[in-house]
Amino acid sequence: MVGFSTLLYKELLRFWRVVFQTVAAPILTALLYLLIFSHVLQDRVTVYNGISYTAFLVPGLAMMSVLQNAFSNGSSSIIQSKVTGNIVFLLLAPLSHFQFFLAYVLASTIRGVSVGIGVILASTVFVSISMESPIWIVVFSVLGAGILACLGLIAGIWADKFDQVAVFQNFIIMPMTFLSGVFYSIHSLPDFWQQVSRSNPFFYMIDGFRYGFFGESDVSPLISFLVVGSVFLALSFVTFNIIKSGYKLRN
């Protein structure tokens, strides 16, 4: 366990030393989204009765920040270690494959959740936020961050340079995040696009997370939990086996 705790500490220290870049900057970006969209659409859009559009935005923006930063942490750490060559020291260390996997996923999850908490706290300056079911907030934020941490590890292991990680993030992660109901309810979409949204696992992460705040959602939180939980288990299995195989890590 010494090796695991050391690697986890190293990964936590890695993003904490540049906290203004890794935590403060994403919080500021989310707040800018909140101010712009709420200013433009506050009096034009109503999603849930009795809930302002500005309040509706906050959970979506918080969860979007959780997902994007969990992905960034895992992917950037692995690709940086590969490019600089210090990945060899991790592979030689007395760490099991599971400890290697768990340390990276936990560190990425902690960074993602930290940013999400920061977004919610900062948003309270502009709008009152209620929490109807905190347990669902915790469950979906942790599972969502875990899923994106796994995707980040997969992207970092697959990529040979930073540009390839950027392609993965810009053409897969970003579109799936923005088209998952962050800024709108899927019930406002035509039937075809509603079905498309329901095929996006990011939608269930954000919808379930939002339920924890308002007690209202587009689908049942139990359905969202089953989808998100299944995706997390499947991606964890895939990621662990990629690490175990040594794919693009031992070369």
Q: What is the pLDDT of residues 125-136, one digit of tens each?
A: 988 888 999 999
Average pLDDT value for residue range 6-15: 93
251 inside domain: no
The residue ranking higher by pLDDT, 64 or 192, is 64
133/245 Cα distance (integer angstroms): 40
Report the amino acid identity of residue 185. S
% residues pLDDT > 70 (the chain):
98
13 inside domain: no
User: What local confidence, expressed as pLDDT, does residue 44 receive?
Assistant: 66
The neighbour count for residue 8, using CB atoms within 10 Å, is: 18
The residue ranking higher by pLDDT, 112 or 160, is 112
The model's pLDDT over 100-140, given as tens digits with 9 standing for 90+, comes to 999 999 999 999 999 999 999 999 998 888 899 999 999 99
171 inside domain: yes
84 inside domain: yes
194/140 Cα distance (integer angstroms): 21
40/159 Cα distance (integer angstroms): 39
Average pLDDT, the chain: 91
User: What local confidence, expressed as pLDDT, does residue 251 receive?
Assistant: 64
101 inside domain: yes
88 inside domain: yes
Range of the domain at 214: 2-8+18-245
Q: Cβ(227)–Cβ(201) under 8 Å?
A: yes
Confidence of residue 45 (pLDDT cuts 50, 70, 90): low
Confidence of residue 185 (pLDDT cuts 50, 70, 90): confident
User: What's the domain count of the chain?
Assistant: 1
Residues in the chain: 251
